Structure 1
Amino acid sequence: MTHVLDVLKDRGFVEQTTDEAELRELLRNPTTCYIGFDPTASSFHVGSLVPIMALAHMQRAGHRPIALVGGGTAMIGDPSGKTEMRKLLTREQIEANAQGLKAQLARFLDFDRGALLLNNAEWLLGLNYIEFLRDIGVHFSVNRMLAAESYRQRLETGLNFIEFNYMLLQAYDFLHLFRRYGCRVQMGGNDQWGNIVAGVELIRRTEGQAAHAITFPLITTASGAKMGKTAQGAIWLDPERTSPYDFYQYWINTEDPDVERFLGLFTFLPMDRVRELGRLEGAAIREAKEVLAFEVTRLVHGEAEARKARDASRALFGGGGRLDEAPTHEVDPARLAEGIEAFILLHEAGLTKSRGEARRLIGQGGAYLHGEPIRSFDQRITAADLRDGVILLRAGKKKYCVVRPGREG
């Protein structure tokens, strides 16, 4: 069986590790590892898929993954990668968010076969501050903490004292999980390197034992955009926030140079198949993008929703399929009989954020009715424009909506 560290490296997950030879030897046997997840929202977005997939690979390789929800640390706020202090949440908000994250993690991790879901509120909220400073704080050097990248960046804009404690709390999490569950590996984004290594060092100092760190690279697109961010906002795993169709479209619109890399990171396809798809060029790369979009959507939303999204996408983009699952907007048949000005219908259908944006889009030649440019902003779209019972509107190259006669929302 391929060593899990080689699997993670081959698929693009590994940026840094502590002593690799020791880590590799440790992972030859079943090992407990963990990743912390910040419950500042009730849903993950696609940027969280890298750590989630890494935990899933660990479990598939026979190790025990712990998904740690930061119910306690979320009341402090992690300064890593931030230019200002995070908004602090109440316990009730954090708990509600944590419940939403549990269901999404269960699609990737098998909690009936060893995976654990824990909340650090269990051991952090009851800490005695004086005892914590005496037992844990004594092992930390302020000079070394300030040298950490996460703190050094924030010193220029102002680092709140409450945030300054974050490294100690995350290190204590690692120590607690080591003592309680025998956890010896913590994984996380590369911006967490300082915090994770602080935990490794704390375990060495207090327990005289070795623990290890693995960090992931910051994932950006080929054009430099942050993973999971679009002009419309974040791409969420929650279908109420980002529909399975829109989720699928995000992946099928992946930039060509990113396709092979994303197939390695965000699917469980064998790497031979990943490389085979990555060699496709020109129009053929559409096949690889469709595989990527289908596989990720299947993991997040299930087989049925992935098929529906693929069918809708094929129908809209000329590859067969069914329009049934495409984004739809219903209008009163009486309004349609009378006619609706194009800029109004574009906005109502959700293809633009405002009527003004719709006017500009039409003026720039970027709005289409059944594939033909809309001539003017006040062009009336009527029942006479129905084809097979629907009106197909498009904004730009890739944003569609199927307009049907029916009851308006």
Structure 2
Amino acid sequence: MDIIEDLKWRGAINQQTDEEGLRQLLKDKKISLYCGTDPTGDSLHIGHLIPFIVLKRFELAGYHPYILIGGGTGSIGDPSGRKTERQLQTMDKVRHNVQALTEQVTRLFGGSGHISFVNNYDWLSKLNLLDFLRDYGKEFGVNTMIKKDIVASRLENGISFTEFTYQILQSVDFLHLYKENDIQLQVGGADQWGNITAGVDLIHKKEGQDAKVFGLTIPLMLKADGTKFGKTAGGAVWLDAKKTSPYEFYQFWLNQDDRDVVKYLKYFTFLSHAEIDELAAKVATHPERREAQRALAREVTTFVHGKAAMEEAEKISQIFFSGDIKQLTPDEIEQVFGKMPSVKVSAAKANIVDWLVQTGIEPSKRQAREDVTNGAITINGDKVRDVDFILDPMAAFEGRCVVVRKGKKHYTLAHVE
């Protein structure tokens, strides 16, 4: 099975400019290809994994992927996927984000040495206005540009000339990489189809119709309920461990719906067809065991954060759900409870009823006494039923924190000052 057929099986292809032409080229030579991302923030999120994993598959098949960090285009703003203008970032912020993203994607993809990294600021910044208009502006018809989805969707609310020219800059990227790095394929999300085809057209105009260049886009990833993949109640799921801990990352994948898990195994893991088919059968026969979800969580967490972080996340999960949280280290406690409600407390010992009211966990002493008596309060994994219990904030987790559970699901992390 060739890589195009594999991508189709995995549900990873939305559109191609010339499927048969690309398939033949891939048989004839080990081409170079690229995908780009703009530095709109200092971390990627799991939505960015969608095209990048396709690049990784090409790498594993022996091709040479390039990842482009858009230090140039990022200073302009991509109009796709938005109804209003992006707020321009300062160049200092753009440079900071470029550095952060380059380090992040290098950690993700750089270990093999078969993936290259480029920044389009290196060539776009050398273009002056007259050369841009003469060499490239003349090749783009306004009537064609406004019919592209990325522009057409913005016409009702308005689009600036700055964002209107984005597709020209991205086309220049493809032309530059074709000439300088022999890159013949651009991969992108479904919303990038107009930009990608504009690049293919520019290369054909500049280099001749026989230039072998192609575009491939990935489908918009939707969950079974029709909502957009990658969003949670807490916001985006980041690849930066400081923004989304490996434990939270692992839990995101572990909690996927049975209706989605096989699709995600195909797309986000490098398991074989046979391994995925076996897991799909287990979803059908024993969904309660959630074996497919565990495999998904292990594979993607290992890919993004490494095997050690995955194993720690799995250990934390097992300990947390067993209820014996005293086995966790303070750092592991932060991974589990870091985004839950928190308070700051002193290191002084205090009566449990008074302490619960002082921290705001309980609204009144009457309610605190009632909850303690009824067994609704757990401190560091131990149920407290004695209203005269003296709480020592320094007693567990190296004196750094106290974990309070009220009822079955309401946790508070008290940081000891």
Partner residue, 1:268: 270
Deviations 1:106-154 (A, max 9, x none): 2342366332100000111120211221111111111111111111110
Whether 2:316 is the aligned partner of 1:302: answer: no
Does residue 393 (structure 1) correspond to residue 405 (structure 2)? The answer is: yes
| Number of corresponding residues | 381
Name the residue aligned to 1:144: 144
Deviates more, 1:304-313 or 1:287-296: 287-296
| Alpha carbons 1:200, 1:210 under 8 Å: kept | no
Residues 190-230 of structure 1 show CA distances to partners (whole Å, capped at 9, x for unaligned) of 11001100001111111011210100011122222322211
Q: Is the 8 A contact 1:104 1:300 kept in 2?
A: no
1:58 & 1:19 partners in 2: Cα distance?
18
**CA displacement, residues 258-310 of structure 1 (integer Å, 9 cap, x when unaligned):** 11111111111112212221222455442221221121111111111111111
Q: Deviations over 1:337-356 (max 9, x none)?
A: 44433794669xxxxxxx9x
CA separation of 1:328 and 1:75: change in aligned 2, threshold 3 A: closer
Q: Is 2:413 the counterpart of 1:408?
A: no
* Residues 1:341 and 2:356 aligned together: yes
Give me the whole-angstrom Cα distance separating, in 2, the residues matched to 1:213 and 1:48. Answer: 18
Residue in 2 that maps onto 1:7: 6
Tell me whether 252-261 or 338-347 shows the greater mean CA deviation. Answer: 338-347
Match of 2:153 in 1: 153
2: distance between equivalents of 1:95 and 1:370?
Answer: 47
Contact between 1:219 and 1:226, CA under 8 Å: does it hold in 2? yes
AA aligned to 2:134 is R
SS at match of 2:150: helix
1:63-102 equivalence runs, <5 A: 63-102=63-102
Equivalent-residue separation in structure 2 for 1:345 and 1:289 (angstroms) = 37
CA distance in structure 2 between the partners assigned to 1:25 and 1:181 by the alignment: 20
- For 1:408, give the aligned amino acid: V
Q: Secondary structure at the match of 2:117?
A: strand
Tell me the amino acid that sits aligned with residue 40 of structure 1: T
Letter in 2 for 1:121: Y
With over 3 angstroms needed to count, the CA separation of the structure-2 counterparts of 1:391 and 1:170, relative to structure 1, is closer
Q: In structure 2, what is the equivalent of residue 187 of structure 1?
A: 187
Alpha carbons 1:311, 1:323 under 8 Å: kept: no
- The residue aligned with 2:384 is none
Report the RMSD for the aligned CA atoms in angstroms: 3.2
Percent of aligned pairs with the same residue? Answer: 39
Structure 1 residue 370, shift from structure 2 partner: 5.0
Q: CA deviation at 1:244?
A: 1.0
Question: Which residue matches 2:220?
Answer: 218
Partners of 2:18 and 2:225 lie apart in 1 by 33
Partner Cα separation in structure 2 for residue 223 and residue 396 of structure 1: 28
Could you say which residue in structure 2 is the equivalent of 1:313?
Answer: 317
Equivalence for 2:229: 227
Confirm or deny: 8 A CA contact 1:76 1:88 kept in the other structure.
Answer: yes
How far apart, in 2, do the equivalents of 1:292 and 1:400 lie? 27
Name the counterpart of 1:27.
26
Q: Counterpart of 1:241?
A: 243
Q: Which shifted more, 99-108 or 306-315?
A: 99-108
Please name the residue that 2:110 is paired with.
Answer: 110
Residue identity matched to 1:290: R
What is the CA–CA distance in structure 2 between the aligned matches of 1:35 and 1:380, rounded to whole Å?
63
| Contact 1:187/1:214, CA 8 A, preserved across alignment | yes
Residue identity in the other structure for 1:133:
L
Change (3 A) 1:215 1:345: farther
Please give the per-residue CA displacement for 1:63-116, whole angstroms capped at 9, x wherever unaligned.
111100100001110001111111111222111111111222123423663321
Q: Deviations over 1:163-192 (max 9, x none)?
A: 010010001100000000011100000110
Asked if the contact 2:345/2:359 (under 8 Å) is kept, the reply is no
Distance 1:16 1:192 in 2: 10
